[in-house]
Structure 1
Amino acid sequence: MIVRHRKGYTLTFDPQTHRYTLENNGETRVLPSVTRVLSVLAKPRVNTWAMDTMAQHILDNYYPGMSTEEMILLLQEARTKPEGESQKAADTGSEVHDWIEGFLQGVPKGLPVNPKARKAVESFLDWWHREKRDFLLSEEIVAHPPLGYAGKVDLVLQDGTLVDFKTSKALYPEYRLQLGAYALALEWWENITPTRGLLVRLGKDGFLEVQEVDLERPKQAFSHLMEVYRYLNPPS
């Protein structure tokens, strides 16, 4: 369990269940994570990828003369293929984030054995060592009680730059909203106003991509998205 106390609130994060709870004046409530809030957005690219993954699995494994039972089995396998691939990607991303957290905390670690995670970590080290970097916070949980959400911030540099690391294949527009959410929470929870946002994509192929983000519009947009989330998920 990770526990933080701020302004009369107690924020608890359970890494096993990825659950955030907030306690204040004897009242406890479960808060959605930033990524949970963002899940209300349509992601057509993900749907297209899932369909392509299923189709490719069928093309790779179909052969003329398959029986009806074999075809049914193949279709069942194809349906689970996107979830399996997605989980592998998530596991690699978690491994990279854990390695970076240990590095920033001064815990010595060898490079990951997983080749994709290793290339992403090498990309991080390339970015990190380009210039001397000091930081205020790393892998810190934060919350915004008035808006009602919580999340974990990857990194806040000494100059106020808010950094979010990604191991995805691209930098998608919703990532800017994620930075906006963290910026709002940092202002309320830590009294830190980020000066700018930075998306750092650590490709599993070793490709490094850095995108600077003006945080004002993402902050406003995420506030409105919280209204949508609350409308779709009213308190029980």
Structure 2
Amino acid sequence: MSSRPKKPSADSYEITHGGKTRNLVRVTRVLSALAKPALIPWAAGQERDAVLLALREILTRDPKLLVHASPETVVEAVQGRMGYARAHLKTTRDAMDIGTQAHALIQDKTMQMMGGESRAIGDVSDAALSALIVWEDWAREVGFVPLLCEQRVYHWTAGYAGTVDCVAEITHRGERVCAMIDYKTGKAVYQEAHLQLAAYMSAMEWMMRYACLEPGEKAWLEKIAHLPDVALVLRLPKTLDQDQFNQDQDVVEVPEWHSAADAFWALVQVWQWQTRRG
């Protein structure tokens, strides 16, 4: 029986291992249990900027509105201009779209390097193309040789699964290494990215011990032969006005990933507790 995972929902993967099938929570879903206090002032700022922009546009068209209209009319005009969607949600969706496009472009290039055919991706934004260009420059510089791309991994004992962006041979700090790589688009590499990669490393380590004979996993596990030497987060630009890519700052190694994996295991338990409580 194949252990190739399926995706029954946005929260979990359906995994078959040892003849048994379970839904294992996605790593990214577990990370949502982390508090993100910095998002609160950011979201408030997005809303404030959206209100001011809408008011400015309305007054540009009708400068006398504030003099002759009632407060209720002004509020209705601003609301009509903004729509009912929260500004920070639109910003988040736009950012996610760019990130998804960038990942798809990089995945397509990587699969071609591994002997696959190019896929029709469709229209993409200039920002996503910018991320691809930065990635291509970096790949040439480090002698990027991909081994795995979009590889799903799971930890049956801990009860989670996820998808690794890439495992590749690269030159890192002057040495050829096998690296697990996760691509991030945005202004910084945040701490949850360390937990995410640590979870993937721990899952791959577990699979090398206990899933090496599973029909759907044997081939790729034999291909890489051993656990990656390093786990790296590669930050790529998501907007065209971001600072130029700096390899010293934007290629971040996850140190002591075993310790971070222990923390992720604890987070899995927190997520399970939250889920049981509803």
Q: Give the TM-score taking structure 1 as reference length.
A: 0.84
Number of equivalenced pairs: 229
CA shift, 1:31, in A, is: 2.0
Residue of structure 1 in register with 2:51 after alignment: 58
What is the alpha-carbon distance in structure 1 between the residues aligned to residue 267 and residue 200 of structure 2?
14
Of 221, 233, 236, 2:263 maps to 221
Q: Among residues 84, 95, 98, which one is paired with 2:104 in the alignment?
A: 98
Look up the match of 1:184.
202
Structure 1, 107-116 or 195-204: larger mean CA deviation: 107-116
| Higher radius of gyration, 1 or 2 | 2
Contact 2:11 2:29 in 1 (8 A): no
More strand by share: 1
1:189 is displaced (CA, Å) by: 2.5
Distance 1:87 1:176 in 2: 23
Amino acid at match of 2:149: S
Deviations 1:1-48 (A, max 9, x none): xxx94xxx452236x857411235775432221110000101112222
Q: How far apart, in 2, do the equivalents of 1:94 and 1:122 lie?
A: 15
Q: Which has the higher helix share?
A: 2
CA contact (8 A) 2:234 2:251 kept: yes
- Larger RCO of the pair (alpha carbons < 8 Å, separation 6+): 2
Identity %: 29
Equivalent residue for 2:72?
Answer: 68
- Whether the 8 Å CA contact 1:138–1:155 is kept in 2: the answer is yes
1:167–1:201 CA contact under 8 A, matched in 2: yes
Distance 1:70 1:92, change over 3 A: same
Which 4+ residue blocks in structure 1 deviate beyond 4 angstroms?
A: 16-19, 24-27, 108-113
CA RMSD of aligned residues (A): 2.8
5 Å matches for 1:161-200? 161-190=179-208, 192-200=226-234
Distance change (3 Å), C-alpha of 1:26 and 1:155 = closer
Change (3 A) 1:235 1:32: farther
Distance in 1 between residues matched to 2:71 and 2:21, nearest whole Å: 56
Q: How does 1:104-119 map to 2 (within 5 A)?
A: 104-106=110-112, 107-108=117-118, 113-119=124-130
Q: What pairs up with 1:6-155 in 2 under 5 angstroms?
A: 9-13=3-7, 17=10, 19-24=12-17, 28-62=21-55, 63=59, 64=66, 65=69, 67-68=71-72, 70-72=74-76, 74=78, 77=83, 80-106=86-112, 107-108=117-118, 113-155=124-166
Q: 1:24 to 1:217 in 2, by over 3 A?
A: closer
Give, in whole Å, the separation in 1 of the partners of 2:148 and 2:135: 17
- Give the structure-2-normalised TM-score: 0.73
Q: Which residue of 1 aligns with 2:275?
A: 233
Range moving further from structure 2, 187-196 or 169-178? 187-196
SS at match of 1:105: helix
Alpha-carbon deviation of 1:181? 0.8
1:235 to 1:199, Cα distance in 2 relative to 1, 3 A = same
Unaligned runs of 5+ in 2: 60-65, 170-176, 210-225
Deviation, structure 1 residue 174: 1.0
